[in-house]
């Protein structure tokens, strides 16, 4: 049983951490089917006409089907039909194929057949008649391009008795929900903050230490280790060994990255749905879906390189995910991103959230209002390196009225001016819908060309 929907560009993973609802059971009695009732009435009329007209052949035509109908009605079931959802047979930790979500619909009860009707997010799905003798397990598959909490399917079942002569009341609708984690995109070179932290890490800093490249060759002083003596340089510069020379290296350090998601906007490609009165189409990925994917991709790329990554939300005031490293930190961030959603009217912030010193800040927003741009500018003024990621989907202007086109044009110009001001304030801009890996590589190489960029002096 499949609920068709447009497949996504990249498959998301899903975690069935929301339990199924209580099994639905039909509480009403088994009643004769409409077709059986009409057929019995017609047979009874033939039988009466045959008797009144002294026509045995006509009476026999109505008597035999009437006996079979009465026999089927006397053998109709008496128990209740039950339906419930269970988790799919797929491994919940493995990526779903083609962006599909799986569940299993279990049918129990005395019914010979079951008429199963499924819906998803208010849209009609499949309607099938299945054999249900001894119970039945039906796989339910739904395609999705969305991330976050969502419904896999809702189903109700109507039991059908022997020969279709009786039917039960439909069961209450049962649903199965899940949390779809955002997928990740491979990224190449990544920008680094202006200052690196710690005494160890994957990046080479300008501070003297161990583990990095050659810093210089210096005469030996008390405190230098003997194993760092460069005997070739010593033999060349001081043949009589009156002075020893040691090789000094750069220290290794790590980067601290804070991902900031603006969850106030969840906009689709159609501008007519931006007012909130009409929901975006289920087959369209929204700006929040893009923000989740972009943040998860950057988190995975930085964590795989040994850096520390944290997560914060501009739309909701809750405790952020503190910077950390490792595989568990990536799982924590992806789950927090999946649960990120607009929650009413956000309160105005008096000051931007506090960040670790010297952190790289990546802001994911549509930049349709001033708040996210002002927060990014304040962080840049405070000395952080800030990267603004534009997650607004490509807008579909086809089918708009003239007034709607004019409003969209004015909003687009205002947004472009706002983003140009960010660039003037030294906030680096990346558009996620246009080759983000290439844009991030350009930012990484641009920092490497500046003397001392990416590392503390």
**How far apart are the C-alpha atoms of 212 and 249, rounded to whole Å?**
6
pLDDT of the residue at 94: 42
Q: Can you name the CATH fold of 256-449?
A: Rossmann fold (3.40.50)
57-66, 107-116, 124-133, 413-422, range with the lowest pLDDT: 57-66
Q: Do residues 245 and 236 touch, judged by C-beta distance below 8 A?
A: no
pLDDT of the residue at 14: 47
228 has pLDDT over 90:
no
Question: Which residues are CB-contacts of 319 (< 8 A; sequence separation ≥ 6)?
Answer: none
Taken in order 229, 230, 235, 238, is the CA torsion positive or negative? negative
pLDDT of the residue at 336: 93
pLDDT of the residue at 312: 93
364 has pLDDT over 80:
yes
Report the mean per-residue pLDDT for the chain: 80
DSSP helix, strand, coil percent of the chain (3-state; round to 5)? 30, 30, 40
366 has pLDDT over 50:
yes
Q: Which residue matches tokens 């990014």?
A: 376
pLDDT of the residue at 331: 93
pLDDT in tens, 142-197: 888 888 888 888 999 988 887 777 788 888 889 998 888 998 888 988 998 887 77
pLDDT in tens, 378-425: 999 998 999 999 999 999 888 888 998 999 999 999 999 999 999 999
Class of domain 2-30+76-180: mainly beta
pLDDT band of 17, cuts 50, 70, 90 = very low
Q: For residue 98, give the DSSP letter.
A: G
pLDDT of the residue at 252: 66
pLDDT of the residue at 52: 79
Question: What is the biggest distance separating any 2 CA atoms in the chain, rounded to whole angstroms?
Answer: 141
**How far apart are the C-alpha atoms of 403 and 39, rounded to whole Å?**
60
- The encoded tokens of residue 124 equal 């009609």
- The encoded tokens of residue 37 equal 């009732």
More confident of the two residues 48 and 453: 48
pLDDT band of 15, cuts 50, 70, 90 = very low
13-17, 43-47, 201-205, range with the lowest pLDDT: 13-17
pLDDT in tens, 238-253: 887 778 887 776 666 6
Q: Do residues 24 and 166 touch, judged by C-beta distance below 8 A?
A: no
Name the percent of the chain lying above pLDDT 70.
Answer: 82
pLDDT band of 7, cuts 50, 70, 90 = very low
38 has pLDDT over 50:
yes
Q: Do residues 77 and 30 touch, judged by C-beta distance below 8 A?
A: yes
CA distances from 81 to 54, 139, 147, 351 (A): 46, 18, 34, 58
Q: Is the pTM of this model over 0.85?
A: no
Q: At CA 287, angle to CA 330 and CA 444, rounded to 5? A: 55
């Amino acid at each position: 049983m499949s609920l068709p929907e447009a497949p996504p560009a990249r498959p998301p993973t899903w975690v069935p951490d929301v339990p199924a609802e209580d099994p639905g059971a039909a509480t009403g009695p088994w009643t004769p089917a409409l077709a059986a009732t009409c057929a019995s009435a017609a047979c009874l009329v033939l039988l009466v006409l045959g008797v009144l007209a002294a026509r045995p052949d006509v009476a026999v035509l109505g008597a035999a089907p009437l006996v079979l109908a009465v026999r089927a009605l006397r053998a109709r079931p008496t128990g209740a039909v039950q339906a419930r959802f269970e988790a799919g047979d797929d491994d919940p930790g493995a990526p779903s194929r083609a962006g599909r979500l799986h569940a299993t619909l279990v049918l129990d009860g005395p019914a010979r057949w079951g008429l199963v009707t499924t819906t998803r997010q208010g849209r009609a799905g499949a309607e099938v008649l299945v054999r249900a003798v001894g119970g039945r397990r039906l796989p339910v598959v739904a395609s999705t391009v969305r991330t976050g909490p969502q419904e896999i399917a809702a189903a109700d079942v109507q039991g059908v008795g022997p020969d279709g002569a009786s039917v039960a009341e439909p069961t209450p609708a049962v649903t199965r929900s899940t949390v779809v984690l955002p997928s990740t995109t491979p990224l190449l070179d990544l920008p680094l903050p202006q200052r690196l932290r710690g005494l160890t890490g994957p990046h080479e800093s300008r501070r003297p230490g161990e583990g990095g490249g050659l810093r210089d060759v210096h005469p030996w002083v008390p405190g230098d280790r003997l194993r760092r003596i460069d005997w070739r340089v010593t033999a060349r510069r001081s043949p009589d060994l009156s002075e020893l020379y040691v090789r000094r290296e750069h220290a290794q350090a790590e980067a601290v990255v804070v991902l900031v998601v603006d969850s106030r906007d969840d906009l689709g490609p159609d501008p007519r749905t931006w007012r909130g009165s009409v929901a975006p189409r289920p087959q369209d990925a929204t700006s929040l879906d893009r923000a989740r994917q972009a943040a998860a991709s950057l988190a995975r790329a930085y964590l795989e390189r040994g850096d520390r990554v944290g997560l914060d939300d501009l739309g909701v005031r809750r405790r952020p995910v503190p910077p950390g490293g490792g595989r568990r930190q990536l799982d924590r961030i992806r789950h927090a991103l999946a649960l990120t959603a607009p929650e009413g009217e956000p309160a105005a912030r008096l000051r931007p959230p506090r960040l670790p010193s010297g952190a790289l800040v990546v802001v994911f927003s549509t930049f349709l209002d001033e708040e996210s741009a002002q927060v990014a500018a304040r962080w840049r003024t405070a000395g952080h390196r800030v990267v603004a990621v534009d997650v607004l989907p490509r807008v579909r202007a086809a089918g708009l009225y003239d007034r709607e086109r004019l409003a969209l044009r004015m909003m687009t110009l205002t947004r472009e001016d706002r983003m140009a001001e960010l660039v003037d304030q030294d906030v680096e801009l990346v558009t996620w819908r246009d080759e983000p890996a290439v844009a991030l590589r350009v930012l990484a190489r641009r920092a490497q060309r500046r003397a001392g960029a990416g590392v503390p002096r």
